[in-house]
Amino acid sequence: APAEPLEEKGQVAPYICQRRTPLLHHNTALTDALETMAEEARFCGSDVRSLAFSRAASVLKSLPWRVKRIQQLHTVPCVGEHSQRIIQEMLEDGMSAEVEQVRQSERYRTMKLFTKIFGVGVKIASQWYQRGLRTLADLQLHQIKLNLEQQAGLLHYEDLNTPVELWEAEAISQVVRKAVEQISPGATVTLTGGFRRGKPCGHDVDLLITHPSEGQEMGLLCRVISILDSQGFLLYHSTHRNSLPSLEDEELWVSDHSSTMDHFERCLSIFHLGDLAGSNQGGAGAQKLGASTGSGASSLWKAVRVDLVETPYSQFPFALLGWTGSRNFERDLRRFSKHEKKMTLNSHGLYHLEQKIFLPAASEEEIFQHLGLEYILPEERNA
């Protein structure tokens, strides 16, 4: 066995952003169980409980060794009593009766089914469950009113719940890049989200659009969307024009929502990934995009969720850091900034609350430096 790991001697840092969390780790069975509990708590509207399970799962992902005895966790932070009970059950029996009971419960299964519809959150799913709905067909039977987003989500339910592969994400990035360059040479398209963290597949494609001359990015997203639409790539899109407020307005940085604020122009869309019948090997996707005529057999094409975001160049490093995730990593990064550094961090910038100054950055590395944190690579942010 390797030397007794440091982590067993109380060396695990309390904040996720102070730790390296790889995609593949040593405690998958335990973290799957804890994440089921976190999801179940979220389905019940217990966000605090959900966060506790989520934090316990995150810390186990960062351990460079496999947990074999519960005593090994005594000096590891963020593992609460209930999480410890689940872990103990798993270590002793290879499974947790409590987790299995959740997984088989009608409520959990139904909530899972409904929240997997694009545009449906815990609140709506919960209402449907209360009304006695149990299947997707029940939505039609009960003539449930759906908004456009949810209608698209239901129509493409299967496709949107089939993982998006890296080659598909790259093919879509390339299509967007072509449209962007056509409108504004010099503008760039960056693949972010889970794929930037090294995930081989994901639930959507997250793309950031910017232009090196500040101001040139304005209106770009809107025009890109209209080109893509006219080229037949879009099955659904909805643009949110959150006009960018002046960052000089201090209220933005001191309010309760300052660290979750995201005022970028953005588009939630569903792409039509054409003719997948042939090869789906690396890189070949780009030429195949858009090749089908649309309403045909689902085996010939696939619907893929794409998030498009337009950002001014001066805010790009902050947007990149904010959109790379994971959500758990982002949450702790912002919590650390506020509580340990008296700074507000969001996808637009970093503001020192006591000195009342902005801390500009030209790269993610500089943001970590401002916060006094060691740089964590995107691949190490899979908390």
Among 330, 343, 348, 350, contact with ligand TTP (rule: CB under 6 A) = 330
Answer yes or no: are the C-beta atoms of 345 and 334 closer than 8 Å.
yes
Within the chain, strands assigned E span 164-165, 188-192, 201-202, 205-210, 234-240, 265-273, 302-310, 343-345, 350-352, 357-358
Which residues within the stretch 304-323 sit at the binding site for Mn ion (CB under 5 A)?
307
Among 253, 328, 273, CA closest to 34: 328
Tokens of 168: 């598909």
Given the rule CB under 6 A, which of 2-10, 60-68, 124-132, 194-202 is the region that contacts ligand TTP? Answer: 194-202
Active-site residue, 204 included: yes
Among 42, 156, 177, 199, contact with ligand TTP (rule: CB under 6 A) = 199
Contact of residue 298 among Mn ion, ligand TTP, none (CB under 5-8 Å per partner type): Mn ion
Residue 330 sits in the site that holds Mn ion (CB under 5 A): no
Active-site residue (options: 138, 262, 275, 307) = 307
Q: Compute the distance between CA of residue 251 and CA of residue 265 in angstroms, rounded to an integer.
A: 20
> Of 7 and 156, which CB lies nearer to ligand TTP in the complex structure?
156
Residue 168 sits in the site that holds ligand TTP (CB under 6 A): no
Which residue's beta carbon is nearest to the bound ligand TTP? 202
Tokens of 87: 């872990």
Residue 170 sits in the site that holds ligand TTP (CB under 6 A): no
> 139 vs 40, 136, 309, CA distance in Å?
22, 5, 32
Q: Compute the distance between CA of residue 297 and CA of residue 254 in angstroms, rounded to an integer.
A: 52
Contact of residue 316 among Mn ion, ligand TTP, none (CB under 5-8 Å per partner type): none
Q: Compute the distance between CA of residue 196 and CA of residue 283 in angstroms, rounded to an integer.
A: 17
Residue 364 sits in the site that holds ligand TTP (CB under 6 A): no
Active-site residue, 307 included: yes
3-state helix vs strand vs coil in the chain, percent to 5: 45, 15, 40
The count of chain residues that interact with Mn ion, using the rule CB under 5 A, is 8
Active-site residue, 32 included: no
Residue 153 sits in the site that holds ligand TTP (CB under 6 A): no
Among 369, 362, 335, CA closest to 55: 335
Residue 204 sits in the site that holds Mn ion (CB under 5 A): yes
CB of 155 to Mn ion, least distance (A): 9
Enumerate the active-site residues: 204, 206, 307
- Positions touching ligand TTP (CB under 6 A) are 193-194, 199, 202-204, 206, 262, 322-323, 325-327, 330, 347
